[in-house]
Amino acid sequence: MIHDGSIALLIDADNSPAGKIEQVLDELAKYGVINIRRAYGNWKSPNLKGWEAVLHEYAIQPMQQFAYSKGKNATDMAMVVDAMDLLYGKHLEGIALVSSDADFTPLVMRMRANGVKVYGFGEEKTPMPFVNACSRFLYLEHLGAAEAKAAELPSPAQPATLPVRRSGNELKGDTRLVSLLRNSVAAAADDDGWAHLGAVGSHISKQASFDQRNYGYAKLGDLFAAIDLFEIGKRDKGLYVRDRRRLAAREADAPDPE
């Protein structure tokens, strides 16, 4: 029986690299217990040899899916059918989809409409409709990149793939991001405009697929500091943020000294 906090992991092995599975599992462990682990693909294909090597190590069940007709993705269909069976047959806290295919967007929206959190993992080529539909989405290129850099220096032939940290000006130019941050701070702010960073992060997670690591920042506070549109302060060992526009408005309303 599936208990509260359980997560089902469904992997589109035809469309995902096997080398990131350890980081995917480590990330999902933050949100629940991964009781169901399945990887879908045509296991007779030599293209899935990389996945075969990690199936037993990480207790992932291979789900054989033949290509019944040329040009049709039978793997996607099998994943959708199984996801719907899990939705109505098990009590899941969340479901994780590892794929870069936007065809899963309607499935994600259906899952979320039924109160199931959806954690997406895909390459940076993943279309934005799929990314935005998920409760949380992480690019596979960014998972474990910092740890890999610390562990060994890359050779010239094989440079480490690291997330590109966006500059403050680039962050400010992202109107969707700025609006998301400002609205979330306003929703969590006290009478003085200060909002606890944890409450801000919680509010963001309820309305958008967002992870600061996709912008190159390990912590949400680092991103707030880089975008330089908010005041940052510490109180009772907690980190608080406030929209700088509030301070500017207050100064504008202040009476001129005589």
What is the mean pLDDT for each group of 10 consecutive residues in the chain (258 residues)?
A: 71 90 91 92 88 91 74 77 90 92 92 93 92 91 59 42 75 90 92 92 79 86 92 89 80 57
8 A C-beta contact, residue 29 and residue 9: no
pTM score > 0.75 for this model? no
Provide the pLDDT for residue 150.
Answer: 39
Give how far the C-alpha of residue 89 lies from the chain's centroid of Cα atoms, to the nearest Å.
26
- CATH code for the structural domain at 168-253: 3.30.420.610
Locus of tokens 């990887």: 39
The architecture that CATH gives domain 6-151 is: 3-Layer(aba) Sandwich (3.40)
Nearest to 10 by CA among 92, 88, 96, 75: 96
Q: Do domains 6-151 and 168-253 have the same CATH topology?
A: no
The 3-state secondary structure of the chain, one letter per residue: CCCCCEEEEEEEHHHCCHHHHHHHHHHHCCCCEEEEEEEEECCCCHHHHHHHHHHCCCCCEEEECCCCCCCCCHHHHHHHHHHHHHHHHCCCCEEEEECCCHHHHHHHHHHHHCCCEEEEEECCCCCHHHHHHCCEEEEHHHCCHHHHHHHCCCECCECCCCCCCCCHHHHHCCHHHHHHHHHHHHHHCCCCCCEEHHHHHHHHHHHCCCCHHHHCCCCHHHHHHHHCCEEEEEECCEEEEEEHHHHHHHHHHCCCCC
Provide the pLDDT for residue 45.
Answer: 85
Provide the pLDDT for residue 245.
Answer: 87
Provide the pLDDT for residue 235.
Answer: 85
Provide the pLDDT for residue 158.
Answer: 40
Provide the pLDDT for residue 146.
Answer: 45
Residue ranges of domains in the chain: 6-151, 168-253
Provide the pLDDT for residue 75.
Answer: 82
Provide the pLDDT for residue 67.
Answer: 64
- Backbone torsion region of residue 184, taken as left when φ is above 0, otherwise alpha when ψ lies between -120 and 50, otherwise beta: alpha
The pairing of strands 136-139 and 195-196 is unpaired
Provide the pLDDT for residue 204.
Answer: 84
